[in-house]
Amino acid sequence: MLKEERQAYILHQVNLHNKVLSSHLSEQMQVSEDTIRRDLHELAQDGKVTKVYGGAISNSFHVGITSKDVYSVEEKKAIALKAIQLVQDGMFVFTTGGTTIIELAKLLPKELQATFITPSLPAALEYSNHPNLEVVIVGDRISKNSKLSIGGEAVKKIQSIQADICFLGVNAIDIAKGLTDNDFGVVEIKRTMIDHSKKVIALSISEKINTSEQLKVCAVDEIDMLITELPPDAEILQPYVKKGIKVM
């Protein structure tokens, strides 16, 4: 694989999954981690990714990022428009982080009166601009990779709440491997939210379907609904329908 091809693949993976690990990319592309590190260094110098310890993250994680900088933003807006139909006045709503969640936050009806609980700094900031939402941010130490509060105190706060709905930003989803991620702290937060929600709704662009990362969040049958930008009868969604998951 030529350097240009490697870097194009890396950039796509960063945009798709928000974060990549050098070790995982090395395994996927069958090249050394030193080669991957050099590629990431060059991409970071060109301003295309943000290099972090062990890998890189998407530039869309920066607070204040505009929609035009978000990967597959139109698909994410379509998902958000479907998701907000499920929120009713008086609900307690968990949301994780990620750019799809941010699009959801931007599109919430101004008249909606509900309580949104999140460990995501960018999401909390967006919710705080809404005139009628109660916003609860669960806090502990901040993961710079995900702009998400992680750790024991955040987990404890989530455990004290029983939410009506959890909107789960998806890193990767596969019918056999379930929902997966690449950050231990984020996995712990997502897992706790799943355990303390009446209904779990996964939000995923279709490009993330049938992909996987190293760390398991949950099996697919632990979610109640999967929302993508596709129509429910799309072929790629039928294995999830057969599992008893409602698709939207």
> DSSP for 14-32?
HHHHSEEEHHHHHHHHT--
Give the CA distances from residue 170 to residues 96, 111, 216, in Å, rounded to whole numbers and listed in that order: 9, 28, 12
Tokens of 28: 């996927």
Residue 68: predicted pLDDT: 63
Q: Which residues of the chain have pLDDT under 70?
A: 60-68
- Other CB atoms within a 10 A radius of the CB of residue 87 amount to 18
Amino acid letter, residue 114:
A
In this prediction, what percent of the chain has a pLDDT beyond 90?
82
| Rounded Cα distance, 91 and 208, in Å | 28
Residue 147: predicted pLDDT: 86
Best CA proximity match to 204, nearest among 168, 233, 178: 168
Residue 146: predicted pLDDT: 82
Residue 180: predicted pLDDT: 97
| Rounded Cα distance, 105 and 108, in Å | 6
| Rounded Cα distance, 88 and 132, in Å | 13
Best CA proximity match to 122, nearest among 203, 33, 60: 60
Residue 19: predicted pLDDT: 86
- Other CB atoms within a 10 A radius of the CB of residue 236 amount to 12
Residue 150: predicted pLDDT: 93
| Rounded Cα distance, 196 and 211, in Å | 26
| Residue 118 bridge partners (DSSP) | 137
Residue 246: predicted pLDDT: 98
Residue 70: predicted pLDDT: 82
Task: List, for residues 198-241, the tens digit of each pLDDT value.
Answer: 999 999 999 999 999 999 999 999 999 999 999 999 999 999 99
